[in-house]
Amino acid sequence: MKFRHRIATLAVVMVMTLTAPPPAFAIGTPQLLIGQDFPDPDIVKTDAGYFAFSTSTGSVKVPYARAPAPEGPWRVAGDALAAVPKWAKPDGGFWAPDVTRLSDGTFLLYFSAAVAPGGEMCIGVATASKVEGPYTPVGDGPLICVPGDGGDIDPQTFVDSDGSRYLLYKSDGAAVGPPAAIWSQKLLADGRTLTGPRVELLRADLTSEKGVVEAPSVVKTPSRYLLFYSADTFQSSGYHTGYASAPSLSGPFVKADAQFLSTDLLGGKVDAPGGADVVDGHIHFHGWLAGGRTARGMYQLPIGFPNDVPQLG
């Protein structure tokens, strides 16, 4: 009986070892790159180095930072957005910016802003000749503002291997009705013209997500499309990063069984890791600083994709 009990115990331990997420020490220690408020970081690689853009902080509309390498050193350098768009509330803030470059060398800055006077969040676009700006808003209205969405935020561009350009974003959902969802909208080559219907990629349908999915970011591996996203409410230590995979950008996306970045998985070294962006072998993300809820710094970890599966460290 004792021998059988030991065999059974060993089998349980082996199963737990195979299915449990890696401990924090196996993942490595996240590197704090920007130790001040710099939430929802978007990272851009250029010939001149690396640039990062964040949600508004204080009076700075779209803060940007620069570094010679993904690991830094990073220096916050100024405000990328030249002016408030005509359609946006001056004091509403600009959320989760995304910067991309067109084939003609023009840079586009996508952002979320509150529509005046109602306050619903919509997505706009601005242009510049240099990655750091200054970016000039385009058009008299937002690029994406879908009635019934309860607000549209967190734009993120993705250019497929055939050159097709897409804008991913989040619909906020409503207190009554469908929960938050992440969508893909195809764009023309100018990056400012929508074409075709939008496609729903995934929806907040897990208990752990608390009705929230946001901050989409896509990585293409040899045979899969990996969609990273944040879930739960950003003020909570339960805020985390998950991912889903699909054979094409239009889906169907299947969520991974386990969370990818969380406060617990990182051993408490980062509180509420989210807003992730993957560039050049690194995943950058934000987390609350100093155990408070007033500022989110920018962190990074190395990331690889063996067998089309994301792996930290």
The model's pLDDT over 37-87, given as tens digits with 9 standing for 90+, comes to: 999 999 999 999 999 999 999 999 999 999 999 999 999 999 999 999 999
CB-based burial of residue 44 (10 Å sphere; 0-12 exposed, 13-18 middle, 19+ buried)?
buried
The model's pLDDT over 201-247, given as tens digits with 9 standing for 90+, comes to: 999 999 999 999 999 999 999 999 999 999 999 999 999 999 999 99
User: Amino acid identity, residue 97?
Assistant: P
Under the banding of pLDDT at 50, 70 and 90, the label for residue 311 is: very high
Q: What was the pLDDT predicted at 26?
A: 54
- Cα(165)–Cα(162) distance, rounded to whole angstroms? 9
- Cα(149)–Cα(250) distance, rounded to whole angstroms? 20
The model's pLDDT over 244-287, given as tens digits with 9 standing for 90+, comes to: 999 999 999 999 999 999 999 999 999 999 999 999 999 999 99
Q: Does the pLDDT at position 9 exceed 50?
A: no
Question: How many residues are recorded in the chain?
Answer: 313
Q: What was the pLDDT predicted at 7?
A: 37
Cα–Cα distance list, 286 to 115, 254, 270 (Å): 26, 25, 8
Pick the CATH number of 2-312 from 2.115.10.20, 1.10.10.60, 3.40.50.2300, 2.120.10.30: 2.115.10.20
Q: pTM value?
A: 0.91
- In what side-by-side order are the strands of the sheet with 136-137? 94-101, 107-114, 121-128, 136-137
Under the banding of pLDDT at 50, 70 and 90, the label for residue 116 is: confident
Residue tagged 């920007």 (tokens):
34
- Cα(135)–Cα(158) distance, rounded to whole angstroms? 20
Q: What was the pLDDT predicted at 177?
A: 64
Under the banding of pLDDT at 50, 70 and 90, the label for residue 12 is: very low
Q: What are the extents of the domains in the chain?
A: 2-312
Asked if 202 and 244 count as a contact pair (C-beta separation under 8 A), the reply is: yes
The model's pLDDT over 181-202, given as tens digits with 9 standing for 90+, comes to: 999 999 999 999 999 999 999 9
